[in-house]
Structure 1
Amino acid sequence: MHAYVALTLAIESMVLISLVALDVLLFYVFFEAMLIPMYFLIGGFGQGPGRSRAAVKFLLYNLFGGLIMLAAVIGLYVVTAQHGPGTFDFREIVAGVASGRYGIDPAVFKALFLGFMFAFAVKAPLWPFHRWLPDAAVESTPATAVLMMAVMDKVGTFGMLRYCLQLFPDASTYFRPLIVTLAIIGVIYGAVVAIGQTDIMRLIAYTSISHFGFIIAGIFVMTTQGQSGSTLYMLNHGLSTAAVFLIAGFLISRHGSRSIADYGGVQKVAPILAGTFLVSAMATLSLPGLAPFVSEFLVLLGTYNRYWLAAAFGVTALVLSAIYMLWLYQRVMTGPVAKGNERIGDLVPREMIVVAPLIALLLVLGVYPKPMLDLINPAVENTMTTIGQHDPAPHVPVSTGVPRTAEGPHQ
């Protein structure tokens, strides 16, 4: 138990250092270092029979992405050294890029961008670099899965927003259509695959792949609504995923099975558990009135302003998410009490204390997200200014004819 807590605290510390680092090399060191404690949490404390394989798969995927990023970090230092003293200082490099000090071949910056982006795409994860996530989420404990998907994976999307866009604005614009396309494919792919799952935890893991697609699309459409929505979505996804994973973990710990077919009628024997699961499931499908709806709406609005077709495909995921979450709730919680479910107990006070703040935040941020958006919007405006992007001008139809008759009461 002491080792588990120590590893958890180590990951949290490394995530925090990554978020506040203003040195590219320092960010990289802790971006990679957090893989080690997570490897031990999955492989050493996981609950599934395939936990060792899942831990190795997680480590190999992310280490390979990290090695590509290391080459890009070194390349970025070489670029700065060719035009003055070499530096890893994030602010100095951004200022140099904005002023045009590093007058090198744009192809070099594109290659460096791809090195950073590949590592972040694996960590986030972006389709098709997502293969490690379902296994890692299923084989680990619910608490570890929450730490991985709600906290650690956000470092990937944070890296896209801070490092990819601000260090390589021209390359980001060049690859924007490709990345938005992959993100929208991930949105639909995650939702479609989730519908066919028979394992509760694996289904929830695939929903996260769909949600990360929304976050990445919002970042790279480079509109204020899209980036504000993506940043808010990082928080809201963490809350909703943490709630649904923890409650599903409480349920599985009582029954001992992850198979959806083994459940039924849980709401009759554990009404509080079923009620909290319903709220978290509705948040996962972005029901209006719950926190993820606001962020998903902003992402779709920002995407529509830049790529209306991508937004149209993204909307289909809303229908698909309603299918898999409502179907999951119907099969697990409603109907007659399945054999063996009579012994399932309701949430105890200790578990309620864990879940209650998450449910409360999902409700509060669903109806009043303004405090968070007031913090997010200035940062988004600064990012948009730094990368030299502006929202697309609205298309206003212009009348070419002159009205033949006056309108109103004084014709």
Structure 2
Amino acid sequence: MNAALNSTEFSQDPYPVLAALRERGPVQRIRTGNGRTTWVVTGWAAAREALADGRLSKDTARYFADRPSTRNLAPAVSRTMLATDPPDHGRLRRLAMAAFTPAAVARLEPRIREIAEGLADALAAGLATHGVVDLVEDFAVPLPIAVISELLGVPERERAAVRRWSNTLFAEGDPAGRAPSRPEEDPDAVVDRASHDLSDYMTGLIAARRLAPGEDVLSGLIAARDEEDRLTEPELVSLAVLLVVAGHETTANLIGNGMLALLLDDALRARLRDDPSLLPGAVEEFLRYDAPVTVATFRYATEPMELGGARIGPGDVVLVSPGAANRDPVQFPAPDAVRLDRPGGHLSFGHGPHRCLGATLARLEGRIAFEVLLTRLPELRRTEEGTDGLVWRRTRLMRGLAGLPVTSASL
């Protein structure tokens, strides 16, 4: 159980390990691969409580101040808004939130649909020419990448590199995770280098936007930095990095994981195709059933506390698992099945002050993606039966397919 969270088997299917932990109790202490220990929160009630508990800090700079590390992550990656506590977190979140209000997101719907339909047309052309296309590489990833890139003003020719750096940040040394590129490379060094590449790129993009401001979100953040002095320069770069990474990773996994569930269930696929009004609920169930984030980012206790019956000491690391909490049978009957009649309550976007600020956008992109694929490409089928041949990205944090080859039943 100890090293299982970092194993290939866990990346392929984390749910047996998480269920076994949860059966022992909602909060369990395990030994990590480096010989240290950490608390893993797998029960829904305990996870929801932990995500909103101010005694669990996300200030990694403070935590590692007297704990030397050999890592060389770029500060723009290691010290994002996700790694801050109030009051800095609230200030940064308010600046970014303006781009993700329900009204702002609703205005994006026509453009998101246009991008999705264009990608679906390209899939159809690829199927006609080659007979097989990759639903992840050719649709699930490019859609949110295009949306967040347009919001931030990332030129189309540079998006592939941004996506590659972002993908590498979550990889853990396995080809399914896209890193390292050469077997002899140290996985940590590969991730560290990608963090600097992405940080340097966003620094350059900010410089370009200063010279030629546009209507994009990044130009607005630069104005807040330069005119209103509400951001430091490192905060500006870090916020830009976070938006581009978080702005597509979760959504790409939602689309890929959700389409896999649909391709494995003919009746569900037909039901949603015939009644698109069910799609918003389906998006919520896909988020619960196969959460895009298996284990949330780092937290640590700032004082003694009790959580889920466990006594946690100051300085103890706490990892909350939305993937496990979303399948807690106490909260969700028959949790390993996809059911459209469930009430809400999943934790895939978090809870409390760090709840995902892009949740509204991700939901909209997911709904449009499923609708477009179901209506424009109704004959999509997997190239293999069941779950044979599936390869998942090698990462403990994220839950996403490395690829999803599909064909058409009409071919």
TM-score (norm 1): 0.26
Q: Which has the higher strand share?
A: 2
User: Whose Rg is larger?
Assistant: 1
Q: Which has the higher helix share?
A: 1
Ranked by relative contact order (alpha carbons within 8 Å, sequence separation 6 or more), the top structure is 2
